[in-house]
Structure 1
Amino acid sequence: MSERGIGILPLGAGLSAALVALYALCALIAVATPSFTATHGWLALFGATPPVTLSAVLRAILANIVIAWITAGSSALVYHAVVGRGSGRTTSR
């Protein structure tokens, strides 16, 4: 097993890309089919207004990126703290 652990930079970049892509997909579906309400829940997480204005979309994308980096940082730190406690073991069971 690798001893490298989880890197905050790749995890943050990956999460940012995934959240922005999901938001963009939901925004496009919401604009194209306003009666399809399944996408509105995701859009409401990161934006208070419908994605009809450029500023609302940009604010929501920025919020997705910030949330992704907070999640990446905290996840990587917790992972390394948990794995670090068990690294003193020399045998695996």
Structure 2
Amino acid sequence: MFPKRQGIIVWLHSLKHSKHLRKFGNIHYVSKRLKYAVLYCDMEQVDEMMKKLASLPFVKRVEPSYRPFLKLEFESKGEKEKNSSYPLGYSAE
């Protein structure tokens, strides 16, 4: 139902051009101190958007966000111990 989205981190020379990034996607965050912006667009358009953004004169660098490709389900240490048959480290010999 919802399209897959991916973030793009855009490093800027000056923040006064950050409003121009609205044309390329949804601006999620703008850092004043580090001079970067995070914007989201559809995953199918990420490569095209990165090329367009990199060609702009006020952009230093463009990086993709790798969050959609990371595993976000983690196991706790307690779950691993509950599943093992020898939780105290004894081995059956």
TM-score range, shorter chain: under 0.3
**Greater share of helix residues, 1 or 2?**
1
| Structure (1 or 2) with the larger CA radius of gyration | 2
**Greater share of strand residues, 1 or 2?**
2
Identify which of structures 1 and 2 has the higher relative contact order when contacts are C-alpha pairs closer than 8 Å and 6+ apart. Answer: 1
